[in-house]
Amino acid sequence: MKILHTSIAVKDMDESISFYCGVLGFELLRRRERPKSMMEKRPESRREIAFIGDEDGTQIEFTCWKDREYLASGDELDHIALAVPNMDEAMKTFKAKNVDIVREPFTRQGSTGRTAFVRDPNGIWLEIIERKQS
């Protein structure tokens, strides 16, 4: 596995981008709101995301939850994304080791690889993204 990015929940997207890019020197890579069709299917997941990065390719994802009025201490770490070359094999291993599978593999609109979510023993969500090796 390879770490792709770490996601943190932020209170204010503009303020966070301004700090990380203007003060720390990261670059804004992309920013988008969840497509309206997805929000209608899963209204609890109304959010905006943005990715920032550095010259080494390190990325941080900001997740701004639209219906959350505050973040309790400890809510800031949203998830860690990990790449796997074969989702089916990864899921077989997770199931054999009794990993808490939060969301079975699915394909996002406009994506070719599959994504799943599992939870580590501390309750931290891990986003598992299938990335075929070339």
Q: For CA atoms 98, 99, 104, 107, give the dihedral sign.
A: negative
Distances (CA, A) of 106 to 13, 87, 103, 110, 111: 27, 10, 8, 12, 10
DSSP conformational letter for 20: I
Q: CA-CA distance, 95 to 53, in Å (whole number)? A: 33
Query: How far is CA 122 from its chain centroid?
Result: 17
Please indicate whether residue 33 is annotated as part of the active site: no
> If 0-12 CB within 10 Å is exposed, 13-18 middle and 19+ buried, where does residue 27 land?
exposed
Catalytic one among 15, 44, 127, 130?
Answer: 127
- Could you list the active site residues? 127
